[in-house]
Every structure is written in structure tokens, then in C-alpha cells.
């Protein structure tokens, strides 16, 4: 049985996550009027439609790409020595110290509570078209999976093969992959909640909602 109190205490002892902001592609860096130690905002608004605090712009082929903070936090490192330099893809530009939100804590605990179906190979994953349509229109929790169900398309090295779900029947409670990124072998693809554990999972959610105080 999951000890939610213990897990919450553990997270409370170290409630931060350090987020590296790296150059998504090559380009010339121009930092915004921001300094190390500054507070930054992540994307906000009802639909997260407003971008986070501008950190820098990356100019490539006359296209300035704004690089914004992806989460709220404190700018604990800023590589201002790169100002005006042409940088390679993947170059570290800044580090944000981010205090975990209630939703993040909930997701972290749920990951331990749900049945995780993992990737057998490093590959890109897609839901099969009919499931994909359902997830897009009604959300993942509208899909019930069962053992032996053809659920994914695994795509690697330009080849696609169907992948069958194995595990307990239940609702897809969480989806941990996107179509655009590779998933490493043994990393979770989905979190499934069997019907007999639905009450326990909802209990976890309620506990986090009430016991985790969101920082303003």
C-alpha cells in the first residue's frame, strides 16, 4: 500500500526541481534584461497561452527565436558570458530553480500508484488511430485498456510495428509520451488505473490537494 504521507514528507524535504534551459538549435544569443537570481514566470493564463519570462533570443537565419522560462522559479544560473556568441544546439544557457506545484507532486505520486506500461525499446510511440482519436476528443481517461489490446504503434528506424498492451485492465490515467520525442526503453508510456484501485487513486489525489500548499 502506498504511503502517501511518507512520500509527501520526502518531497517537502526537497521540493525543488532544477530545470536546464538549453539552446534548442544553433544561433546567436542575446540575453534579455534579466539577471542571475531574478524571479521568473512560467507560461500562464487560462490555457497557458501567455509565454513565460523572456530569457534570451536565439537568432538563426534572421529568425529570432524567443527562449522563455518554461516554469516559474528563480534563475539560479545565467550564462551571460555567451552574450552575442554563436552557440551550438544543446548549449546550456540558464538554470531555473523551480518549486514543485501541487499538480507536479500529484503526478509524481501517481506515477508510483498507477500500473505503468513501459516502452520495450527506445522509439517514438503513437496510439493506434482509433485510440488516438478518442484520446484527442475525450481525453485519455475515456479509454479503457485490457490485456492483449493493440494499443500503440512503435516507430523507430523508419519502421513501424504494432505494440500490444499487457497488464491489468483499467483506465488510462496518465500519458507519459509525446509523438515528437523518443521514449527510452523501460520508461513509462501510460499509467493505468484498474477499476478496483480507482478509490485509492482518488484518495491519493485528494490527499495531495489538501496537504500540499501551493506557493504564491
Partner 1 sequence: MGKSNKESNVAPAGGLIDVSSHKVLVANRGEIAMRIMRACVKLGVAFTAIFTKEDTASGHVRLAKELGGEKNLYRVSSYHDANELMAVADDAECTAVHPGYGFFAEDFRFARRVSKRDRKLIFIGPSWKIIRELGDKINTKRLARSLNVPTVPGSDRPIYDEMEAERIARTVFDFQVQQGIKRPLVLVKASAGGGGMGIEEVYDIDNFRSVYRRIRNYAMRQFKDEGVLIEQRITDFNHLEVQIVSDRSGKNPVHFGTRNCSIQSTGLQKRLEVAPGFSPDEINYSFDARKVLDDIVHYSLTMARKVGYDNVGTWEWIVTHDGSPFLMEVNTRIQVENGVSARIASVKGEGGVDLLAEQIRIGLGEPLGYNQQDIAFNGVGIEYRLIAEDPDNRFTPWAGLIERFGWQEKPWLTMHTHVPTDVPYEIPTEFDPNLALAIVWGENIEQAKDRGRLFLDSLELKGCKKTGGELKSNVAFLRQKTAGILQF
Element (H, E) at 128: none
* Residue tagged 538549453 (cell numbers): 22
Contacting residue, 7, 21, 27, 192, with partner 1 by CB under 8 A: 27
Q: For 134-142, which contacts have Cβ atoms below 8 Å and span 24 or more sequence positions?
A: 135/172, 135/175, 140/171, 140/172, 140/173, 140/174, 140/175, 140/190, 141/171, 141/172, 141/173
158 binds partner 1 (CB under 8 A): yes
Element (H, E) at 154: strand 150-156
Neighbour tally for 151: CB within 10 Å? 21
88 binds partner 1 (CB under 8 A): yes
* Cβ proximity of 70 and 19 under 8 Å: yes
**How many chain residues interact with partner 1 (CB under 8 A)?**
27
25 binds partner 1 (CB under 8 A): yes
Residues 194-213 that bind partner 1 (CB under 8 A): none
Q: Residues 29-58 vs partner 1: string with x where CB under 8 A? A: ------------------------------
CA distances from 112 to 4, 105, 119, 171 (A): 10, 11, 17, 16
Residue 185, CB half-sphere, CA atoms under 13 Å: how many?
4
Q: Which of residues 48 and 65 has its CB atom nearest to partner 1 in the complex? A: 65
Q: Residues 109-138 vs partner 1: string with x where CB under 8 A? A: -----------xxxx--x--x---------
Q: Which of residues 17 and 60 has its CB atom nearest to partner 1 in the complex? A: 60
Contacting residue, 160, 166, 178, 214, with partner 1 by CB under 8 A: 160
Contacting residue, 12, 50, 66, 86, with partner 1 by CB under 8 A: 86
162 binds partner 1 (CB under 8 A): no
Element (H, E) at 86: strand 86-87
157 binds partner 1 (CB under 8 A): yes
What's the helix, strand, coil split of the chain in %, to 5? 25, 40, 35
Q: Which of residues 48 and 86 has its CB atom nearest to partner 1 in the complex? A: 86
63 binds partner 1 (CB under 8 A): yes
Q: How far is the CB of 95 from partner 1 (least distance, A)?
A: 19
* Binding stretches for partner 1 (CB under 8 A): 24-27, 60-61, 63, 86, 88-90, 120-123, 126, 129, 155-161, 182, 185-186
Amino acid at each position: 500500500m502506498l504511503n502517501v504521507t511518507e512520500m509527501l514528507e520526502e518531497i517537502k524535504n526537497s521540493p525543488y526541481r532544477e530545470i536546464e534551459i538549453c539552446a534548442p538549435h544553433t544561433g546567436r544569443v542575446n540575453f534579455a534584461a534579466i539577471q542571475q537570481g531574478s524571479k521568473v514566470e512560467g507560461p500562464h493564463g487560462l490555457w497557458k497561452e501567455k509565454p513565460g519570462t523572456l530569457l534570451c533570443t536565439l537568432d538563426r537565419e534572421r529568425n529570432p527565436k524567443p527562449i522563455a522560462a518554461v516554469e516559474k522559479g528563480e534563475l539560479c544560473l545565467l550564462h551571460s558570458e555567451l552574450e552575442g556568441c554563436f552557440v551550438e544546439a544543446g548549449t546550456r544557457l540558464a538554470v531555473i530553480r523551480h518549486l514543485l506545484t501541487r499538480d507536479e507532486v500529484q503526478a509524481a505520486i501517481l506515477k508510483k500508484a498507477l500500473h505503468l506500461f513501459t516502452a520495450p525499446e527506445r522509439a517514438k510511440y503513437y496510439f493506434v488511430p482509433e485510440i488516438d482519436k478518442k484520446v484527442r476528443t475525450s481525453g485519455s481517461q475515456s479509454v479503457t485498456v485490457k490485456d492483449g489490446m493493440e494499443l500503440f504503434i512503435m516507430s523507430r528506424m523508419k519502421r513501424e510495428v504494432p505494440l500490444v498492451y499487457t497488464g491489468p485492465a483499467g483506465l488510462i490515467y496518465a500519458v507519459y509520451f509525446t509523438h515528437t520525442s523518443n521514449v527510452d526503453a523501460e520508461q513509462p508510456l501510460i499509467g493505468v488505473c484498474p477499476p478496483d484501485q480507482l478509490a485509492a487513486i482518488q484518495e491519493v489525489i485528494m490527499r495531495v490537494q489538501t496537504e500540499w500548499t501551493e506557493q504564491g
